[in-house]
Amino acid sequence: MLHAAASDISTQTGNRVEFYVDTVGVGTSGLIQNVRYNCYLRVTANGYAYLLFQATTPASEPWPATLATPEGDKYPNIMDESELRDKLKTILQREKTKQVLAYLLTMAP
């Protein structure tokens, strides 16, 4: 779902910047209780990556989900795909994302 919601970044940038998801299990004492999806914008030419946001879900199901940005924006208790898409749209259209994308494009040939 995350990749589908943001995958058009590659198309919009002529494949110079791509959306990349790294998945990590999170829990105490080796027990995975949640899954964290670190979502990056990555310059295709050199692999430089910027953490755009993180999504966290229970390990056993996708809901409730939480989205959070490195800048401190947090969207907790997301309960379905429609709400997830709305929050992702907010993150992708915010001014900080536009600034980061513009900067990454200067790094891409």
CA distances from 40 to 1, 33, 54, 55, 72 (A): 15, 23, 9, 11, 16
Number of Cβ within 10 Å of residue 68's Cβ equals: 16
pLDDT at 109: 77
Alpha-carbon distance 3 to 7, whole Å? 5
pLDDT at 87: 96
CA atoms within 13 A on the CB side of 21: 14
User: pTM for the complete prediction?
Assistant: 0.90
What is the span of the domain harbouring residue 25? 2-107
DSSP readout, 38-79? EEEEEETTT--EEEEEEEEEETT-S-SEEEE-TTS-EEEEE-
Number of folded domains that form the chain: 1
**Residue ranges for the chain with pLDDT beneath 70:** none
